[in-house]
Structures are given as C-alpha cells and as structure tokens.
Amino acid sequence: MTDIAAKAERPSIMSFVKANIRDYALLLSLAAIMVFFQFTTKGILFTPLNMTNIILQNSYIVIMALGMLLIIVAGHIDLSVGFLSGFVGAIAGVLMVTNPFWPVEWKLGTVPAIAVCLLAGTLIGALQGWFVARFRIPAFIVTLAGMLIFRGLMIAMLSGRNLGPFPESFQAISNGYVPDLLAFMAPAGINMFALVVGAVVTLLILWSNWKARMLEQAHGMAEEPIELFYGRNALIAAAFLAFSWIMANHRGLPNVLITMFALVALFMFITTRTTFGRRVYAMGGNEKAARLSGLNTEKITIAIFAIMGGLSALAGLVYAARLNSAQPKAGAGLELDVIAACFIGGAAVTGGVGKITGVVIGAFIMGVMNNGMGIMGIGIDWQQVIKGAVLLLAVFLDVYFKNKS
C-alpha cells in the first residue's frame, strides 16, 4: 500500500512536463533550430570552425544578457547597453591606440586600459541606476537618454573614424585560444586540453545536479520524475561532450568562452544561492511589498544597473578586440538582441521571473538563427523579420501559459 501511495503522489511525466512547459519548450526549440540549420546548411553549422564563430559572434550578447536578466527581473529595462559597450570600446581605443584627432596620447597597456574601461562602465551604470532609484524616473527614459548620449560621445571621441589596430595582448581577449597544455598526449590535430576540460565540466554539472536532487529528496521537494532526471542529464552530458569534441578538432577553447562560462556560473550562483539574488526577484515580484518588508530597493536598483554597466563595458572590450578596432557604429542594435535573448529565454515582461540558463539558451537561439540564416544567404531584411516574429511568439507564449496557470 505504501508503494502504491508513493506512486500516486509522484507526478507523472506528462503532468511534470506540462507544469514546466516553458523550460522544456526552450530546450526543444534550440535543439530543433540547430537540427534544422544543420540540414539546410548542408552540415556547415556543426563544423568546428563555424561553431567557434558562433561562440565568438555571440559572446558579447551572452555577457550583456546576464546583466539584462537582473534588470528585467527587477522590473526595469536598459536600452543603453549597446551604445554603452561601443562607447567603452572607443575609450579603450583612445587609451591604447594613437589617435591623431585626440589632444592627449595615453598609450596605456592592456591591463590598465581594461581596468579603466570596466570601472567607467560600472560607474556609468550606477549613475543611471541612481537616477532611476532616487528620482523615480522610468528606466526606459533614463537609458534611452543614455543611449543617445553614449552614441554621441562615441562618435565624438573617434571623430567618426575607425581607430585601430589594438595590441595583440588586447586582441587575445576575443581572438585568442587557451594553449593545449596536454598536447603531448594527443594525436596531431586534436586539442586534448579541450577534451579534458569538457569532460571535467560535464562531470561537475552532473555531480551538482545529483547533489541538488538529493537535497530536494531529503526535504521532500523532489518533483521531477526520475526518468526525466536521468534523460535530461544524459542529454546535457552528450551535448557538452560533443561540443568539447568539436572544439578539440579546431583550435581548442577560445579565451572568450572561458570568460563567458565563468560569468554564467557566477550569475547562476548569484541568482540562486545568494541573498542579493533573492532580493532582486522579490523586488521584481512586488516592489512595494519588498520595500515595506525592509528591503533597500534603491541600493538594489543602483547595484543591478552598476552590474549591467560593468558587463556592457566587458562586452564592449570583447567586441572591439574581435574587430581589432574601435568603430563609431559599434553597438548599434546590440541592445535589441540582448533584450530579445532574455525574453526568448523565459524572462517575464512583468518582472520577477527568469533564469540564467534560459537567457543563455535564448541568446544561442538568436545566435544560431543569425548564423544559419547568414550561411543560407537570407538577406538582413528577412532576418530581422524572422527574429521579430520569434520574439513576438516567445512573449505571446509566456503570457499565454501565465494566464492559463
């Protein structure tokens, strides 16, 4: 009788999937899109060179999307991130590259210039957050003004011209690769270090998921059917191992991939395991209630905008390093891809809802679509139409399932 009662209390696979339809739909959507473009591009999508390009092309989107999720969860929006990243790239150019149109020649090294740029981005973000928090000006207006200001300053600093090239040490931020420390163990053409790192990361993820499930079971909170748990983790392991094999067959792990992975892990920890993360979600769920319960919502708002500014600065450095120049059009439209990645990844328009994993998947959905459509020769006009339709569909489904529940 006890076994029968336990089976009756345990949710069925279908009922659990229905209750978590957005998470599973997101994963299935990414898998379906990748399979579709693998066939339509005649196998080009999964080639080592193209997969590396997808990483490089979308790294700065993922980096900014991590901060944008905090902004959206808290109930705000930041329209300035694109041109703020371009403006920081211009600052890096002025600090490191000789500019005949700039009155002072700084010639800073890579490390000091990066430090100045990251500090500048963080302070700019904090200033925008201060206007939002202290004077109750809608974030839409504050960051729209910021977008115009940063665009104008970027063009003025560069005098409307590209500024480059950057030193090789700076270019390595985006275009460099982790050296194969285990080359003596591998056959020619295979990056053994990438394989080992992929295997270790896979084991760590599986171990972390298993520990989390054991903790849930200890507190009687485990709802996911064991069949789904094993199936989901088997797919995760297969995806990570396949990806590491693809990277090992090219030049190994790009530096920016390591940076991106570290940031994703950090923000997953912040949003799920820290008091600050819980406070951001609480504020997004009901700011008035959060304030009445004793939370300093002004400090939280300033903090999340400062984080967003710092990540925008880092993304601007990655973008400038990849192009090997600071450009007066840098950052144009990036904010749209960043915001779209968050909403496609499951962030709620009304705030209070969103996951880091969803945002990363959303960013790569956009990235794979951009890459696949480019390989297929689809014009930029129709690419914009298709991306807009995907964004609208994602928000529609979010609202539909929320109203249904």
Local confidence band at 65 (pLDDT 50, 70, 90 cut-offs): very high
Q: Which residues make Cβ contacts (< 8 Å) with residue 319, sequence separation at least 6?
A: 60, 85, 86, 89, 174, 330, 331, 334
Range from 36-40, 219-223, 353-357 carrying the lowest mean pLDDT: 219-223
Burial class (CB in 10 A: 0-12, 13-18, 19+), 49: exposed
Q: Is the pLDDT of residue 324 over 60?
A: yes
pLDDT at 350: 83
Strand partners, 188: none
Average pLDDT for residues 284-294, to the nearest whole number?
89
Q: Is the pLDDT of residue 27 over 90?
A: no
Q: What is the pLDDT of residues 149-184, one digit of tens each?
A: 999 999 999 988 999 899 999 999 999 999 988 888
* CATH 1.10.3470, domain 47-176+256-405, yes or no: yes
For residues 201, 207, 213, 218, the Cα torsion angle rounded to the nearest 10 degrees is -150
For the whole model, what pTM was predicted?
Answer: 0.92
Local confidence band at 6 (pLDDT 50, 70, 90 cut-offs): very low
Range from 129-133, 176-180, 224-228 carrying the lowest mean pLDDT: 224-228
Average pLDDT for residues 185-193, to the nearest whole number?
82
**Mean of pLDDT over the chain:** 89
Local confidence band at 126 (pLDDT 50, 70, 90 cut-offs): very high
Q: What is the pLDDT of residues 8-17, one digit of tens each?
A: 455 677 777 7
- Dihedral sign computed on CA atoms, order 337, 339, 340, 342: positive
**Rounded to whole angstroms, how far apart are CA atoms 283 and 292?**
11
CA-closest candidate to residue 88, choices 47, 109, 116, 110: 116
Residue 309's identity, in one-letter code, is G
**Rounded to whole angstroms, how far apart are CA atoms 173 and 5?**
57
Q: Are 230 and 290 in contact (CB under 8 A)?
A: no
Q: What is the pLDDT of residues 87-109, one digit of tens each?
A: 999 999 999 998 777 777 888 89
Percent of the chain with pLDDT over 70: 94
pLDDT at 8: 44
pLDDT at 5: 43
pLDDT at 4: 45
Range from 86-95, 108-117, 329-338, 395-404 carrying the lowest mean pLDDT: 395-404
Local confidence band at 405 (pLDDT 50, 70, 90 cut-offs): low
Parse the chain into domains and list their residue ranges.
47-176+256-405, 178-253
Q: Is the pLDDT of residue 359 over 60?
A: yes
Range from 67-71, 103-107, 333-337 carrying the lowest mean pLDDT: 103-107
Range from 98-112, 121-135, 197-211 carrying the lowest mean pLDDT: 98-112
